Amino acid sequence: MENKVSLYNSNDTKIGETFTRRARQLVRQQRAMWIDDTQTSIRMAPNMENMGNACNDPIEEIFTPNQLCFASWHDHYYYPAVISDVLPNLVKVVFLDGFSGQAPPHHVIGIQEGFETLDFECKYGWLSYYRGVLVSQQPIVFQYYDDGIVEYTELRKLRGMR
């Protein structure tokens, strides 16, 4: 599960919570700043009248069709996918294995953010996934924890968990 970040207004009054991914977006957009080094709290910029406007940006600004991403499937793992459509509160995706799905925006993350934040498993053979670590993203190189084998692999064989 994704961690929550506390939101404070410019007067240091707690006004709510958001997901870490959204907090990072607000900081990048200079709409908020981190309160501490642990990145568990942000303070909204003084010109942000209310949290609602800051946290409910149209998702069309965050996601675009044909964008590569990681999206959560019913088993709570994040699989590589391509965004096919962006609706007001829903992102439709086509997973790289051919299945289609849809998810709320907080269950879809950009490909680079996924590489940086997910704990990965890689499909070995036809059915089994094994835990390990990404050694490289370009090309994708994966090292399995159980036996230390390092192999070149494909993006479609990865899945991640928060």
pLDDT tens sequence across 45-64: 775 544 444 444 555 557 88
Please return the burial class of 152, using the count of CB atoms within 10 Å of its CB with bins 0-12, 13-18 and 19+.
exposed
Domains of the chain (ranges; CATH) run 4-57 (no CATH), 60-113 (2.30.30.140), 116-161 (2.30.30)
Going by pLDDT thresholds of 50, 70 and 90, the confidence category of residue 122 is very high
Write phi, then psi, for 28 (nearest 5 degrees).
-60, -35
Nearest 5°: phi and psi at 8? -125, 145
For the record, the structure tokens of 109 come out as 């993350």
Q: Could you tell me the two tokens for 126?
A: 């036809």
In terms of DSSP H, where are the helices of the chain? 20-28, 51-55, 111-117
> Rounded distance, CA 23 to CA 20, Å?
5
Amino acid 2: pLDDT: 63
Q: Report the percentage of the chain scoring pLDDT > 70.
A: 89
Quick one: average pLDDT of 1-7?
75
The confidence score (pLDDT) of residue 52 equals 44
Of 62, 48, 40, residue with least CA distance to 106:
62
**Burial of 23 per CB tally in 10 Å (0-12, 13-18, 19+):** buried
pLDDT digits (tens, 9 = 90+) for 12-46: 888 877 777 778 877 777 778 888 888 888 888 77
CA 65 to chain CA centroid, Å, is: 16
Instruction: Using the predicted structure, report yes or no on whether residue 105 has a pLDDT greater than 80.
Output: yes
Q: Closest by alpha carbon to 144, among 126, 123, 116, 162?
A: 123
88: amino acid identity, one letter: P
Quick check: 127 pLDDT over 70?
yes
Per residue in 68-93, pLDDT tens?
999 999 899 999 999 999 987 889 99
| pLDDT at 47 (0 to 100) | 59
pLDDT at res. 131 = 93
Strands (E), 52-105: 68-72, 78-87, 90-95, 100-103
